[in-house]
Chain A
């Protein structure tokens, strides 16, 4: 055991007869590129199918084989009242759960990063635990609690469940942002006579805002998409994923494809706008420096 040598160097130096390594071959890079393209293609095959079948004109209930092109479903995507309700529920639940989880999680992250206190690593571990528990276990355990307490499951219990499992994601995301932050700016504010609350409002919050925004987007995305935990705690309430799963037996209506494609388009537009905005800001900053 070569303890005295630092890692990596301890390997005896090869005799000089060994040829120097050539730069990476073009073929290897090519193979890697092709592999990556195929992997991304794999990710997009089902999405491509979803988009294409939003224009299908199925005979009968099943939107399984291509029959003909139509824009009918794009004209009234909310025709099916159950689907419209499911969509509305999903967005409302995501909105409420995200607001609560973001507030709770941000403060928890502040406490965990900013203060050394007894039991911090225990709290850290406890917050991490829901992330390493399979969703089916979380969903089942929560349902068992609601059954034991004779609570009727429905809209409210879905919100409770969603806050519970998104809050850990918020903590992790905001913590990452806080850890990379310069504490001296806050100290400067307090030295200049700002109270802790004012410092939080005027200095800390604006600085962690991108992290909080990212965390709330993540929470909302997870909430809207959740099937497993929701299925346990939904009672008679239907959300978008529950609707789709339930519809698989009678055939998923093309309106579902339309709505999914629509959401994807909105996300793409927002991302493009974000890129443009960032570029403009960068240019403005560059101009200012001049």
Chain B
């Protein structure tokens, strides 16, 4: 009898521990998503309210109407992710292998920007790139920018802003996975007559793959849904899907279409993650087999 109740208790205990947090996530994360699916199938207008009608046409309309913003979001986010990798990988590599006693300081410097508000840092870029600012003036003076050329309110500004804001999210996971690498493996590779480039390609890079995976997801996902950079550093011609969803919800109050758009965005990202995991995972496997 006692044994049984003890056994039952061991079975129940994890669920008691989980219950409050899980309930919070179900009520305020899962149910809202289901509810959003419901909202996306409603029709009506802000004046009279919306009713559920299985209006799948909203999805077709949303895709047709905002295809540009969708493609732009993906394009900007992908470009920013590649740029973050290009900037972040050498940085992470240096910190992991060469920084020596500067290691902790450099890591601290990567984290420190997080303690200044994201919005404020983006506003600061607005100031730096401003039309009559120091940078634009200098570039005009040396002829790199036309007389009426602008830095602010361009595609470049938005992508640079996104790259800036998500660089730490790329650099930190890269550092973590590079730091874990047993340096003797790289030495072994070069001892076995692999050139430095081959050792890098065949040993360092595959071992850094988890960091590359985590870093690019941590950059790409939020970048895809971001609207702060486009709102502050761009014009409506650079607006991303996040800007559309936000204004549909908060300004135009076209809830069904906004819900449909955010559902499409979420599905796209989930499918993207799965595909990406497969591709990287598959490469991992082939790498191991060769």
Interface of A with B (CB < 8 Å)? Answer: 1-3, 7-11, 13-14, 16, 18, 20-21, 24, 29, 32-33, 35-36, 39-40, 42-47, 49-50, 53, 63-65, 103-105, 107-108, 110-112, 114-115, 117, 120, 123, 126-127, 129-130, 132-138, 140-145, 147-148, 160-161, 163-164, 167-168, 171, 221, 224-225, 227-228, 231-232, 240-241, 244-245, 248, 252, 256-257, 260, 263-264, 267-268, 271
Contacts and interface: CB of A to CB of B under 8 A. Distances in A.
B124 A43 contact: no
B18 A111 contact: yes
B28 A44 contact: no
A162 to B, nearest CB: 10
A32 B126 CA distance: 29
Contact of B121 (A10, A46, A108, A147): A46
Given A14-B193, A49-B124, A231-B250, A164 B28 contact: yes
B210 interface: no
B14 A117 contact: yes
B196 A21 contact: yes
Nearest to B231: A245
B36 A144 contact: yes
A263 B116 contact: yes
Contact of B114 (A63, A221, A252): A221
Nearest to B92: A36
Given A32-B90, A136-B262, 4 more contacts: A11-B194, A107-B18, A115-B17, A221-B114
Given A32-B98, A49-B127, A40 B91 contact: yes
B149 interface: no
Contact of B225 (A112, A137, A167, A252): A137
B266 A134 contact: yes
B78 interface: no
- Main SS at interface, chain A: helix
A126 B90 CA distance: 34
Given A107-B18, A132-B273, A134-B242, A117 B11 contact: yes
B17 A111 contact: yes
Nearest to B289: A1
A44 B109 contact: yes
B259 A111 contact: no
Contacts of A43: 109-110, 112-113, 164, 167-168
Contacts of A148: 35, 39
B40 to A, nearest CB: 9
A16 B264 CA distance: 57
A167 B35 CA distance: 21
Contacts of B25: 126-127, 130, 164, 167-168
A112 B15 CA distance: 10
A229 B28 CA distance: 12
A197 to B, nearest CB: 11
Contacts, number: 272
A241 B30 CA distance: 26
A287 to B, nearest CB: 23
Nearest to A168: B25
10 contacts: A13-B193, A21-B193, A36-B91, A36-B95, A42-B167, A47-B116, A50-B124, A63-B127, A134-B266, A142-B28
Interface stretch (B60-68, B140-148, B216-224): B216-224
B21 interface: yes
A9 B192 contact: yes
A134 B18 contact: no
Contacts of B231: 245
Nearest to A108: B21
B113 A44 contact: yes
B290 interface: yes
A115 B10 contact: yes
Q: Choose among A8, A110, A164 the residue with the greatest number of B CB atoms under 10 Å from its CB.
A: A8
A-B pairs with the 10 shortest C-beta distances? A134-B225, A46-B124, A104-B21, A111-B17, A115-B14, A141-B32, A111-B14, A14-B193, A145-B32, A136-B225
Given A39-B91, A107-B20, A137-B266, A248 B193 contact: no
Interface string B168-205: 10010000000000000100111011111001001100
A171 B120 CA distance: 29
